[in-house]
């Protein structure tokens, strides 16, 4: 059995290299959901509505608190929200919708929750900022 080397079959090696590079680019490419900017729909309620904040708290406790953001938005392995006043409404919405893949990985919730459900989470997070 003989093995081609770059000198004996340069076209074969170039083709193989191109395939490896192309596969790597496809595999490493961001998913369409992360590259397509979600149209931010304005909330259909005031973010200070106590009923919506309560719904956001319930959803937060089910999906965000346990492992990541901690009970009442304090603790866990992801950022705290209690007392935090620097979060812009739209940025919080985008982060919840798309998730994040930096040093902290957060799953995207845009396909799991409706826009109003995401805004309820934002309302609760903003409420935590006032605590």
CATH superfamily of domain region 34-129: Cytochrome c-like domain (1.10.760.10)
All structural domains of the chain with their residue ranges: 1-30, 34-129
pLDDT, position 3:
55
By C-alpha distance, which of 125, 2, 11, 118 is closest to 72? 125
Low-confidence residues of the chain: pLDDT under 50:
13-36
pLDDT, position 30:
43
Q: Per residue in 47-62, pLDDT tens?
A: 999 999 999 999 988 8
Distance CA 91, CA 20 (A): 37
The most distant pair of C-alpha atoms in the chain lies apart, rounded to whole Å, by 75
pLDDT, position 25:
34
Distance CA 75, CA 105 (A): 16
Q: Which tokens hold the place of 39?
A: 């149209």
């Amino acid at each position: 059995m003989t093995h081609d080397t770059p000198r004996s079959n340069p076209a074969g090696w170039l083709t193989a290299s191109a395939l490896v590079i192309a596969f790597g680019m496809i595999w490493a490419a961001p998913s369409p959901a992360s590259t397509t900017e979600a149209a931010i729909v304005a909330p259909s309620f005031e973010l200070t509505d106590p009923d919506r904040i309560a719904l956001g708290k319930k959803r937060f406790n089910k999906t965000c608190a346990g492992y990541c953001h901690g009970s009442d938005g304090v603790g866990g392995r992801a950022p705290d929200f209690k007392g935090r006043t620097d979060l812009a409404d739209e940025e919080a919405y985008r982060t919840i919708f798309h998730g994040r893949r930096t040093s902290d990985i957060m799953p995207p919730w845009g396909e799991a929750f409706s826009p109003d459900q995401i805004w309820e989470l934002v309302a609760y997070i903003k409420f935590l900022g006032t605590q």
